[in-house]
Amino acid sequence: MASKYTAHDNPEIDRTIARHLARIVDAIRDHLEPRSIILYGSFGRGEGSVMLDDGRSISLSDYEIAVVTRSPCYRKLFASLSRQLTAELGVETSISWMRPGRLRTNQSQNLSLGRAAPTIAMYELKTGGQTLYGREMLNLGPIIDPRQISVRAGIRLLINRMIESLPYTPRSAPLPKDRIETIRWINKLILACNEALLLLWGEYHYSYAERGRRFAALNNLAPGTELSTLVERATHFKLHPAPELYPQDLNSLWPQVAGVVDTTFRHLMAEELGITFETYAQFPERFLNHPQVQKSYNLYRLWPLPVPLDQKLINAIKYLRQRRLPPRGYWSHFSVTANLIVFALAPLLFLGRFEDNAVLDEVRRWLVVIGYGETPRTEPQAEWTALCRYLLWAWKNFCYN
């Protein structure tokens, strides 16, 4: 029998997690009285990844906490509490501000206005979240039908996973020393392929276990033949993580995973946007020039401002928050926003032929538009590492928060 927070039937794990969550709630309430405190993510859905190792439990999932309150002034406090509690509890803890109106309108961003489109994040929060304190607000607003979530949200999820996984690939420098952490990101990539394809097939669900069952029933629709086995193993690892599920050498596992990510990504782009390409060096231009991309991947909707002006203004604020001025080239490319450039370059760096200097030149050309100014490295590995570092910075600032 599964617990309230994980797929394990382990009372000690339950008690530990409950104690951690009570500490988080107390730490928040020491500073404010919120309308509600919500646990979401894997632990909220009862599918948190906890690995058992010689009697010890090691969390591979985060505590994702939404604090529902009107004032945005607590954002710095929440960032500080996140760092403090992560160190104290030994589990990555992320505390974020949520505007109450978002739960009534299903808006994906605190600053968004106008009509809300269904998103993965809000669907999973409202169907798989748990209220830890305060008013029950998860049932506010219209019910989200997962069949109405755009396939493009799945494409964005897969791109995000590519970016997050860059430091753990064989080309990262220095090589990751933590094998389990590397496997965790490999696992996330495989699951993202599953999730994006289920959106394409109209069969998405908030539960990892149910997604695994649905993919197994529909795997004949999947591009390629390797993904079915990988999704089955990745789902098992997510619910019951164990190192023996990935016995092979990581240098041999990565090419296999990159191959299914490549096949899945090409399939999604062709089916959803009609974008095809022979090499990844061709991808950024075709993606950025696609007539539907700007509207589909705009992260905000500041009604009644036109797309992409609303995104441009939000990004300008984010530059200033980082004590930087938006580069001149950013304004001259009016229809291309920073988040779109990041989304266009992630597949190029993750799946492209990094040995080809033309690929790195293409990445650099677009990163310069959003402020990259480092001198080119003559050695391809050093250049790839530097470009990845800036792409990760841009992703965190323009696509993630």
In a shared domain, residues 330 and 212: no
In a shared domain, residues 303 and 378: yes
**pLDDT for res 54:** 77
Do the strands 50-53 and 93-98 form a parallel or antiparallel pair, or are they unpaired? Answer: unpaired
**pLDDT for res 304:** 52
In a shared domain, residues 231 and 287: no
What average pLDDT is seen over the chain?
Answer: 88
Percent of the chain at pLDDT exceeding 90: 63
pLDDT category of residue 115 using cuts at 50, 70 and 90: low
- The more confidently predicted of residues 3 and 223 is 223
**pLDDT for res 261:** 96
Q: What is the pLDDT of residues 341-396, one digit of tens each?
A: 999 999 999 988 545 667 888 999 999 988 898 999 988 888 888 999 999 999 99
Q: Give the pair of three-digit tokens for residue 48.
A: 């948190």
DSSP-based three-state secondary structure for 155: helix
Other C-beta atoms lying within 10 Å of the C-beta of residue 71 = 10
Q: Which residue has the tokens 């959003």?
A: 370
pLDDT category of residue 27 using cuts at 50, 70 and 90: very high
In a shared domain, residues 301 and 199: no
- The more confidently predicted of residues 250 and 317 is 250
**pLDDT for res 342:** 93
Instruction: List 97's β-bridge partners, or say none.
Output: 67
Q: Give the pair of three-digit tokens for residue 332.
A: 């001259």
Do the strands 36-40 and 63-68 form a parallel or antiparallel pair, or are they unpaired? Answer: antiparallel
**Closest C-alpha to 363, from 349, 373, 380:** 349
Among 276, 309, 339, the domain boundary falls at 276
Domain membership flag for residue 15: yes
In a shared domain, residues 68 and 17: yes
In a shared domain, residues 401 and 377: yes
Percent of the chain at pLDDT exceeding 70: 88
**Which of the residue ranges 6-20, 52-66, 326-340 would you say has the lowest mean pLDDT?**
326-340
Instruction: List 130's β-bridge partners, or say none.
Output: 39
Q: Give the pair of three-digit tokens for residue 323.
A: 């004590």
In a shared domain, residues 179 and 200: yes
> Which whole number is the average pLDDT over 285-291?
89
Among 117, 146, 175, the domain boundary falls at 146
Helix (H) / strand (E) element for 57: namely: strand 56-59
Q: Give the pair of three-digit tokens for residue 47.
A: 């599918």
Q: Give the pair of three-digit tokens for residue 103.
A: 């739960």
Residue type, 312: K
Domain membership flag for residue 96: yes
CATH of the domain at 203: 1.20.120
Following DSSP, what letter does each residue of 333-357 receive, concatenated?
STT--HHHHHHHHHHHHHHS-TT-H
Domain holding 28, by residue range, is 11-146
pLDDT for residue 278 is more than 80: yes
> Which whole number is the average pLDDT over 140-169?
93
Q: Give the pair of three-digit tokens for residue 43.
A: 């632990």
Among 276, 292, 326, the domain boundary falls at 276
Query: In a 10 Å sphere around its CB, with 0-12 CB exposed, 13-18 middle and 19+ buried, how is residue 52 labelled?
Result: middle
Q: What is the pLDDT of residues 173-197, one digit of tens each?
A: 555 568 899 999 999 999 999 999 9
pLDDT for residue 299 is more than 80: no
CATH of the domain at 53: 3.30.460
**pLDDT for res 319:** 78
- The answer to whether 229 and 130 have CB atoms below 8 angstroms apart is no
> Which whole number is the average pLDDT over 146-153?
94
Report how many domains make up the chain. Answer: 3
pLDDT category of residue 339 using cuts at 50, 70 and 90: confident
In a shared domain, residues 297 and 241: no
